[in-house]
């Protein structure tokens, strides 16, 4: 655990007993496994939302070191953070933009997403005013209905891009809405629509920009969608995008979440635990308190379902999960102040991110990206 992402909160400082441990070796292995699967296709690591909770600056630097040719994020603020961390490789900002943000992109040498003719012309005009050449990727909506030019109107966007003098159309892309399910009919329909749009270049004998549409799920299930570049996100960190996807690449989770027992008590029968008095024992039990709560991203909705590991054994979280603490029923076993509590991870017995997602009624994406930044990250 050589690096902590917050110098004021160290795992070994005696301050916060709760922390995330990120295994960079596993991320390396996952990255190489993806590369082996996609062959000559470039891999753009997507490290938005604090690198899915793993720490965007450290992960960005690690990906650059591994030889990634570019990175993808959601917002300009994330990209600027990476630039300020010293990362120099191209960074594509995948999200929608406002006109007033364009100078920020150009000042920091960031690649923009142009999702309409209006946005494209704004980028071109701003680049002219600043005396630079902007780099853009054109966004085509093939069935997500989020941002991007509809596939059936996309020719006008591509025609407009040919008239711009102060930007380079470096890429063109779309995004799957349903590549993470067993029925891939809609994903294949989107792929067909994307290919129809791309025929614009072939008909005019123009070279293709960088073509990309494959997210983590498509990397696993749709090799015909690889094109020139793929955009893996959550799978880089060893988590599959859903329970339905075919696990065609072996990946291993990189994140472990641990804390420690901070209080031990004996609770009598009929004495409820936590807010709302929803849980009580019918016998004398030992209950320990763990200094983690929904303020850290340990979802309150897991109340009555969550489990943790103490000394390698599973125990139930009891009573409502509080903002900063929760309680665990260890029955009549022993645990002491300072004993390690595993929230995610483990060796022979393991609690997975997918377990937390099931308990919370959500997805692994939401679990990972909601781990608060007040939980320090340590890196192997």
The helix/strand/coil state of 316 is: strand
Axis crossing angle, helix 56-66 with helix 76-84, rounded to the nearest 10: 70
Which of 152, 208, 275, 336 is catalytic? The answer is 275
CA distance readout (Å), 332 to 70, 152, 194, 230, 261: 54, 66, 61, 52, 16
Which of 48, 135, 139, 258 is catalytic? The answer is 48
Q: Which residue has the tokens 């009624």?
A: 361
The half-sphere exposure of 285 on its side-chain side, counting CA atoms within 13 A, is 20
Give burial (CB, 10 Å; 0-12/13-18/19+) of 131: exposed
Helical spans, DSSP H, in the chain: 24-38, 48-53, 56-66, 76-84, 102-107, 117-130, 154-163, 185-203, 216-221, 353-360, 364-369
Q: Which residue has the tokens 């979440």?
A: 257
Q: What angle do CA 317, 335, 5 make, to 5 degrees?
A: 70
For residue 201, indicate whether it is catalytic: no
The helix/strand/coil state of 314 is: strand
For residue 268, indicate whether it is catalytic: no
Show which residues are catalytic.
48, 275
């Amino acid at each position: 655990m050589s690096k902590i992402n917050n110098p004021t909160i160290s795992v070994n400082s005696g301050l916060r007993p709760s922390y995330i441990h990120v295994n960079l070796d596993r991320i390396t292995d996952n990255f190489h496994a993806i590369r082996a699967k996609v062959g000559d296709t470039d891999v753009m690591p997507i490290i938005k939302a604090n690198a899915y909770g793993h720490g965007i600056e450290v992960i960005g630097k690690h990906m650059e070191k591994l030889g990634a040719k570019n990175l993808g994020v959601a917002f300009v603020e994330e990209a600027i953070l990476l630039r300020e961390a010293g990362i120099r490789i191209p960074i594509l900002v995948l999200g929608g933009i406002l006109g007033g943000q364009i100078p920020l992109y150009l000042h920091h040498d960031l690649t923009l997403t142009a999702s309409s003719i209006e946005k494209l012309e704004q980028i071109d005009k701003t680049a002219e005013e600043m005396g630079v050449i902007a780099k853009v990727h054109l966004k085509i909506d093939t069935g997500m209905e989020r941002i991007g030019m509809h596939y059936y109107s996309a020719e006008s966007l591509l025609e407009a891009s040919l008239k711009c003098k102060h930007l380079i159309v470096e890429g063109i892309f779309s995004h799957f809405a349903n590549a993470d399910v067993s029925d891939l009919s809609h994903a294949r329909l989107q792929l067909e629509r994307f290919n129809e749009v791309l025929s614009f270049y072939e008909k005019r004998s123009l070279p293709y920009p960088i073509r990309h549409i494959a997210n983590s799920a498509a990397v696993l299930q749709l090799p015909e969608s690889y094109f020139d570049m793929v955009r893996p996100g959550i799978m880089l960190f060893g988590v599959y995008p859903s329970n339905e996807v075919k696990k065609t690449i072996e990946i291993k989770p990189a994140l472990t979440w641990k804390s420690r027992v901070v209080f031990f008590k004996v609770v009598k029968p009929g004495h409820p635990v936590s807010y709302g008095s929803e849980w009580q024992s019918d016998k004398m039990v030992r209950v320990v308190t763990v200094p983690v709560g929904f303020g850290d991203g340990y979802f309150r909705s897991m109340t009555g379902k969550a489990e943790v590991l103490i000394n390698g054994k599973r125990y139930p979280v009891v009573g409502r999960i509080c903002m900063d603490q929760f309680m665990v029923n260890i029955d009549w076993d022993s645990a002491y102040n300072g004993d390690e509590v595993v929230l995610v991870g483990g060796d022979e017995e393991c609690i997975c991110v997918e377990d937390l997602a099931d308990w919370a009624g959500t997805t692994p994406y939401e679990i990972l990206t909601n781990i608060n930044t007040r939980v320090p990250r340590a890196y192997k």
